[in-house]
Amino acid sequence: MALLDVEDLSVTFARRGQRTVHAVDGVSFSVDAGEVVGLVGESGCGKSVTSLALMGLLPKQPGLRVGGKAVFDGTDLLQLDDRSRRDIRGRDIAMIFQDPLSSLNPVIPIGLQVTEVLTRHRGMKGAAAEKEAAALLDRVGIPDPKRRLKEYPHQLSGGMRQRALIAMAVACQPRLLIADEPTTALDVTIQAQILELLKDLVRDSGTALVMITHDLGVVAGMCDTVNVLYAGRVVETARRRPLFREPRHPYTVGLLGSVPRLDAGRGERLNPIPGSVRDVLPWPDGCAFAPRCARRVDECVGEPPALVLAHDGRSYRCVNPAPAPGTVPTPAATAPVVDDPLASAAAEATASPVPAPREEEKP
Amino acid sequence: MTESDILVEVRDLKVHFPIKRGVIFDRTVGHVKAVDGVDLRIARGKTYGLVGESGCGKSTLGRALLQLTPPTSGEVSFDGVELTTLPAGRLRTMRRRMQMIFQDPMSSLDPRQNVESILTEGLQTHGIGGSRDERRKIIGETLDAVGLPRWALSRYPHEFSGGQRQRIGIARALVLGPELIVADEPVSALDVSIQAQVVNLLDELQDSLGLTYLVIAHDLAVVRHISDTIGVMYLGALVEEAPGDRLYTEPLHPYTRALMSAVPVPDPDVEDRRERILLAGDLPSPANPPSGCRFHTRCPWAQPTRCADERPVLREIGASRVACHWAEQIATGELRPHKVSAQITRPAGEGEEPHVVSAPSEPGSYV
């Protein structure tokens, strides 16, 4: 039994006189205890709305419809009333947001914002709460935590703010942590610090982590299982290595081909996906990715492609997937993308400035 | 590299912004040294990539190069003409030959101007194309070059997607037929699949028009993809400059090494194998930079001698230029990295002890 089981989650925003927006359109995925699950996609694919819906943070407005199920440890998060949701939020499930400056209250010292969680969920007060808060800040690597407690968010740097936010999130040792683009607003060296911190926290406490990001590099380094979203649906699910080694959905292939790699040479052409995220077909009329797809066939249009289940937990939503290497010769359009990771990984082994021992893949 | 191959030469460029205090009398209490002594040369038809973290002065350097921000001191020569002392009128005519592409296409395009008007404005200012028809022709060719349809002319920026808006920004720079294009974070506001389209477009335009680029970006992978030479900046100065491949295979400066090891690569095998050099703490304030080598406060290889009191200058090692006293010893492995604890850095004048705020007793009772 998975820790979190999201089944057929859908979120629609309707407004009078305007087309209904299907932000999330039947997303299903599951998260096991201690697992890191990635939700990857470009802007507008519904990855953030998914996380907000799970946390019950979507603005309550007429026209908002949330459907489906999200079972966390036996309770359906979507059916909870506000009161019991508040009990779970922060204690069992916590969230880290993208922009720490806008998710911290600017007029309240950091310490108070951290102790608030402790007071609400763990009943700690006064000096004990303050001591625990200082310990938390110390744990996430903030130097001189006692002094930091009295400071305001604007006095901290971006990386420190994100650390403070993480300290608040892990204050009650939640079983599930949702991180929505936790490093997008940060510089690369700070990003590396934060990712390392998240990895340590997950490893030490056995917290499950849902990592929402657009950065395939972050996914490659962190996630056990990856869900690729496009236009509000999961188009491909796979374990980390198979996904990068042999992506099956053309969108995943396209994404991997679009990313310039640090270990690729100058002038190597990228293989971008033509068109933009606006060129979508509504899912009921066929595959939403069809207008941009290089492997489009007639069957793509007409009805939505069914989810194809492949071996070892892989699944993709495509009628004409990129062939797995070794079965059929890959067409020229996708070949460099599929072959590249292996070839350059071998080159990397000799060329890398900082070789390091290989780590075992997490079970 | 002979003299005639150099399009742009920057010598000891400095841009300092004064920090003012006081209400009636503006007192200058210090300077933010955004760019503090940079030398670089950009070869004609090549791409120079400038990388660094936010606040390192890379954008200021790009703007100072085009004289959009007046430099405090130093020289910038463009094709043999010294720009810093050029009278305003002459400078304006020179601008036709050097254009800029900005990061956020939505805020750098006037929302009330249609595409035709955006593209015509530059032509009129510089008196290119005698008649309306002639200008239309130039604009049409530019649109084709950047891959926008002709019907785009009568549309307004908000009617385009992010990628197309960036193409309009590129068309605006291209329409004057410049030689140098300074691109400040040209793709960082775009989605991954669109980024690749724009990067490819920049590559194609360079091939067909022989443009010279100065690409400023924080994304090392993007810069490495399009640059011939890469300069790494830290706190207002270049710390290393090398051909793209060499910078990746043999980074010499400790900061470059840390930067390279921090960039995530979309490949699980690479990600698992590599060792991360994690830098402690944050970028120090450019108003109050550390003495000696600016990086010594965060450097895992910092030595007790020289690093803290002697500012390293760029010196040539092989094909690279690097500003580190110990580059050779680090490269051979003679010096080993040690652990650095994070130090608190804050802008000057903000270091006072914060006031203690009385805590409300109940959570959620903040007023």
Give yes or no: residues B80 and B131 share one domain.
yes
Q: Determine, yes or no, domain membership for B240.
A: no
Q: Does the beta-carbon distance from A112 to B354 stay under 8 Å?
A: no
List, as ranges, residues 179-198 from A with C-beta within 8 Å of B.
187-193, 195-196
Where in the sequence is the domain holding A151, given as residue range(s)?
A: 101-171
pLDDT score at B219: 86
What gap in Å lies between CA A291 and CA B30, rounded to an integer? 57
Q: Helix or strand or coil: residue B310?
A: coil
- A79 Cβ under 8 Å from any chain B Cβ: no
Q: Determine, yes or no, domain membership for B214.
A: yes
Q: What is the mean pLDDT of residues A177-189?
A: 88
**ipTM summary value:** 0.80
Q: What is the mean pLDDT of residues A74-80?
A: 91
What gap in Å lies between CA B273 and CA B3, rounded to an integer? 44
pLDDT score at B341: 66
Burial class (CB in 10 A: 0-12, 13-18, 19+), B209: middle
Q: How far is A62 from chain B (nearest CA, A)?
A: 26
Instruction: Name the residue among A72, A75, A82, A77 with its Cα closest to residue A53.
Output: A77
Q: How far is B280 from chain A (nearest CA, A)?
A: 8
Give yes or no: residues B299 and B195 share one domain.
no
Q: Determine, yes or no, domain membership for B233.
A: no
What integer best gives the mean pLDDT of chain A?
84
Q: In whole angstroms, how far apart are CA A255 and each of A65, A269, A306, A330, B6?
A: 30, 14, 21, 17, 37
Total domains present in chain B: 2
Q: How far is B95 from chain A (nearest CA, A)?
A: 28
Provide the pairing of β-strand A4-15 with B81-82: unpaired
- pLDDT tens per residue across span A190-201: 888 889 889 988
What is the number of CB-based contacts under 8 A between chain A and chain B? 218
Report the CATH number that the domain containing residue B162 is assigned in CATH: 3.40.50.300
Residues of chain B with C-beta less than 8 angstroms from the C-beta of A42: 191-193
Q: How far is A304 from chain B (nearest CA, A)?
A: 23
Residues of chain B with C-beta less than 8 angstroms from the C-beta of A137: none
What gap in Å lies between CA A22 and CA B186, rounded to an integer? 31
- B268 Cβ under 8 Å from any chain A Cβ: yes
CB proximity list for B54: less than 8 A, separation 6 or greater: A187, B218, B283
Give yes or no: residues B217 and B293 share one domain.
no
List, as ranges, residues 268-287 from A with C-beta within 8 Å of B.
268-274, 276-278
Backbone angles phi, psi at A66, to 5 degrees: -115, 125
- A343 Cβ under 8 Å from any chain B Cβ: no
Tokens 């068109």 belong to A275
Residues of chain A with C-beta less than 8 angstroms from the C-beta of B267: 220, 244, 261, 263, 341, 344-345, 348
The two tokens of residue A120 are 């609400």
Give yes or no: residues B65 and B144 share one domain.
yes
The two tokens of residue B110 are 């006037």
What gap in Å lies between CA B278 and CA B313, rounded to an integer? 25
Which of A42, A188, A239, A344 has the highest number of chain B CBs within 10 A, making it the mutation to test binding with B? A188
pLDDT at A329 over 80: no
pLDDT at A351 over 80: no
pLDDT score at B242: 94
Q: What is the mean pLDDT of residues A273-286?
A: 84
pLDDT score at A263: 78
Which residue of A lies nearest to B206 if distances are taken between CA atoms?
A: A267
Q: What is the mean pLDDT of residues A94-102?
A: 87
Give yes or no: residues B94 and B188 share one domain.
yes
pLDDT > 70: what percent of chain A? 88
CB proximity list for A25: less than 8 A, separation 6 or greater: A10, A46, A231, A232, A233, A283
pLDDT at A344 over 70: no
Q: Does the beta-carbon distance from B363 to A254 stay under 8 Å?
A: no
Q: Does the beta-carbon distance from B273 to A189 stay under 8 Å?
A: no
Give yes or no: residues B62 and B30 share one domain.
yes
A214 closest CB neighbour out of B192, B270, B272: B192
Q: Does the beta-carbon distance from B266 to A151 stay under 8 Å?
A: no
List, as ranges, residues 286-325 from A with C-beta within 8 Å of B.
none
What gap in Å lies between CA A152 and CA A130, rounded to an integer? 16
Q: Does the beta-carbon distance from B263 to A188 stay under 8 Å?
A: yes
Q: In whole angstroms, how far apart are CA A209 and each of A93, A179, B54, B69?
A: 10, 7, 28, 45
Give yes or no: residues B180 and B312 share one domain.
no
Where is pLDDT greater, at B311 or A349? B311
pLDDT score at B97: 93
B224 closest CB neighbour out of A155, A262, A269: A262
Burial class (CB in 10 A: 0-12, 13-18, 19+), B276: middle
Total domains present in chain A: 1
Q: How far is B291 from chain A (nearest CA, A)?
A: 21
Q: Determine, yes or no, domain membership for A110.
A: yes
Burial class (CB in 10 A: 0-12, 13-18, 19+), B352: exposed
What gap in Å lies between CA B200 and CA B188, rounded to an integer? 14
- A347 Cβ under 8 Å from any chain B Cβ: no
Q: Which residue ranges in chain B fall short of pLDDT 70?
A: 1-4, 341-367
Q: Helix or strand or coil: residue A11?
A: strand
Where in the sequence is the domain holding B173, given as residue range(s)?
A: 3-227
Q: How far is B154 from chain A (nearest CA, A)?
A: 21
pLDDT > 90: what percent of chain A? 40
Q: Determine, yes or no, domain membership for A34.
A: no
Q: Determine, yes or no, domain membership for B171.
A: yes
